[in-house]
Structure 1
Amino acid sequence: MRQRYKNCESILNFVDFYSSGDTFFLVFDKMAGGDLAYVFESTPYLSESQASRVTGAVSRALLTLHSDGVAHRDLKPENILCHSPREINPVVLCDFGLASDPPSRRDPSDWDITQNSTLSVEFCGTYLGVLLFEMLFDRLPFNGDCGRHGQSKDPNCRNCHKNVLPKVCKGNYVIPNTRKSVSDSDTAVDLIRRLLVVDPQTRYSAADVLKHPFVTAHRNDDVTRTDCVTTLP
């Protein structure tokens, strides 16, 4: 899987593999900065420039995957890695353990453009919207607290899970007022509202995200960037 996308700088580069006895080893580029979840532990939220560049990098990775008929299906801070310590950008997408298999390239009848278009919308918007929300506001958009845990949260509480599901299905969330620099008219909030949409047909795709002002405004903040190119066997 990862060898197909070795020319995409927003996807973790697969270097080599080898086996020893009954153990199989995969070798990837070293990401010394850790994952984005680790970053969240040391900072309450990211700057708009940082969040924009992370969103752009992840969108480029997803666009490459979706263009090839592949869904990542596990987009979360733990699967977004930083190249260097104390630096948010650049980042790469990793962990394809739950990703869908690419369609067969040997049989053209297996390739369905309509299905691919739907996939790119369904598997991009909600995950990206939640990620952007968390980066900017240091919380998730859908609160499932059942009220029994006080100030702490129990991620394994079934009642919390039951409470959050109706909110997700209805798209019921509120933009916090914890950051005065982010207003309801801000481009960041506009992008969130276009991503956290219940109807997948009106929800932004990865390609839409890359054209949004929130992402394009900070496109040149990175020192270097190369567009993703899919390498097929």
Structure 2
Amino acid sequence: MYKIGKPLGEGAFSVVKEGTNKETGESFAIKIVTKAKLTDEDEIALKDEIAVLKDLQHDHIIRLYDVFEEAKFYYLVTERMRGGELFDRIVSKSYYNEKEARDVCKILFEALNYCHKQKVVHRDLKPENLLLQSEDNDSDIKLADFGFAKRCDNDKCLTTQCGTPGYVAPEILEGTPYGCMADMWSLGVIVYIILGGYPPFIESNQRELFRKIRRGQYEFHEEYWGGVSADAKDLISKLLTVDPSKRFSAEEALGCKWMQMGGDELAAVDLGVNLAEFKKFNAKRKFK
């Protein structure tokens, strides 16, 4: 049914290759997972990821079309994302304003709101997992990599410590049970970077980084945030709230004042200085 082509990328126990539907000629990405490399825990996680992705049908979430199993491999057929990472697209711009930033954030909140309504927590939101389907459409953003995703019926049904250091929520670091609101913290970090051009929590020492996250210790530096609208900063502060019970949900974020503001007003806010900072941050992120 599919002709397997050139490699597109690889992970610890999988390789992603180009796949073409033999009947339609349509192009896909096929993740080929080597069973021998999987622990029992890895296999459970993979099956969880497949079950979650099969249920998620949203314009801004990567689509899983087919799953095949052979004696030595699993094959996951997904959408082909030709546009690369969202952050790479932003840094390729010569001009960047607050309306563009807001429109991107709105899409991310819509995708996450859908996940949370389906009782799915992503648990690893970070720039690498925000992809673009095409090279010429900035709004065709997809949320990807549901390898850590879990179903969760309430605010405190998960206990596993997972995620990426700069984006992880305080409640996960504290080792307390958590739920969907952990994703909202991670998205708060991403929104901060999209607007400011650098992360809210920066420390070369991981222990110090985690201490700052647990305390919610960050600031809006005047040099980069002076011109950013107060409503945008207000939303970030509602997301980077240490107490998850007081943190904004995706639905609340979509209803906030910044999301309702007129495009012309936001388009007038030039984020050129922040874009220069963003380019530095993105280069460092790639270097790691």
Category of TM-score, reference length = shorter chain: 0.7 to 0.9
Q: CA contact under 8 A between 2:82 and 2:132: conserved in structure 1? A: yes
Q: CA contact under 8 A between 1:16 and 1:26: conserved in structure 2? A: yes
> Which one of 26, 49, 54 corresponds to residue 99 of structure 2?
49
Distance change in 2, residues 1:164/1:90 (3 Å): same
Distance 1:25 1:171 in 2: 41
Shift of 1:205: 0.7
**Could you report, residue by residue, the CA deviation over 1:144-175 in whole angstroms, capped at 9, with x for unpaired residues?**
13xxxxxxxxxxxxxx1111111111111111
Aligned to 2:8: none
Distance 1:64 1:39 in 2: 24
Aligned to 1:136: 195
> Which one of 100, 108, 111 corresponds to residue 58 of structure 1?
108
Q: CA contact under 8 A between 1:44 and 1:138: conserved in structure 2? A: no
Secondary structure of the corresponding residue to residue 234 of structure 2 = helix
User: Residue 194 in 1 paired to residue 245 in 2?
Assistant: no
Task: Note the aligned Cα RMSD (angstroms).
Answer: 2.7
More displaced 10-residue stretch of structure 1: 125-134 or 20-29: 20-29
Structure 2 residue identity aligned to 1:88:
D
Q: CA contact under 8 A between 1:11 and 1:94: conserved in structure 2? A: yes
Aligned to 2:131: 81
Q: CA contact under 8 A between 1:124 and 1:205: conserved in structure 2? A: no
Shift of 1:99: 0.5
Distance 1:199 1:112 in 2: 16
More displaced 10-residue stretch of structure 1: 81-90 or 41-50: 41-50
Identity %: 28
> Which one of 140, 149, 160 corresponds to residue 99 of structure 1?
149
Aligned length: 193
Aligned to 1:166: 211
User: Residue 208 in 1 paired to residue 252 in 2?
Assistant: yes
Q: CA contact under 8 A between 1:130 and 1:196: conserved in structure 2? A: yes
Structure 2 residue identity aligned to 1:204:
F
Secondary structure of the corresponding residue to residue 105 of structure 2 = helix
Distance 2:103 2:225 in 1: 21
> TM-score, normalized by length of structure 1?
0.72
Shift of 1:190: 1.1
User: Residue 3 in 1 paired to residue 54 in 2?
Assistant: yes
User: Residue 24 in 1 paired to residue 68 in 2?
Assistant: no
Q: Relative contact order: is structure 1 or structure 2 higher (C-alpha 8 Å, sep ≥ 6)?
A: 1
Shift of 1:77: 1.0
**Could you report, residue by residue, the CA deviation over 1:53-105 in whole angstroms, capped at 9, with x for unpaired residues?**
222222222222222222100111111111221543121111110001x36xx
Distance change in 2, residues 1:181/1:87 (3 Å): farther
Q: CA contact under 8 A between 2:155 and 2:179: conserved in structure 1? A: no
Distance 1:212 1:74 in 2: 24
Secondary structure of the corresponding residue to residue 56 of structure 1 = helix
Q: CA contact under 8 A between 1:50 and 1:88: conserved in structure 2? A: no
Secondary structure of the corresponding residue to residue 15 of structure 1 = strand
Structure 2 residue identity aligned to 1:135:
I
Structure 2 residue identity aligned to 1:123:
A
Distance 1:180 1:203 in 2: 22
Secondary structure of the corresponding residue to residue 123 of structure 1 = helix
**Could you report, residue by residue, the CA deviation over 1:17-54 in whole angstroms, capped at 9, with x for unpaired residues?**
33455222212222221112433553599532222222
Distance change in 2, residues 1:202/1:115 (3 Å): same
Distance change in 2, residues 1:89/1:25 (3 Å): same
More displaced 10-residue stretch of structure 1: 10-19 or 166-175: 10-19
Counterparts of 1:172-183 in structure 2 under 5 Å? 172-179=217-224, 182-183=227-228
> Which one of 103, 108, 126 corresponds to residue 185 of structure 2?
126
Distance 1:80 1:125 in 2: 15
Structure 2 residue identity aligned to 1:201:
S
> Which of the pair has more CA radius of gyration?
2
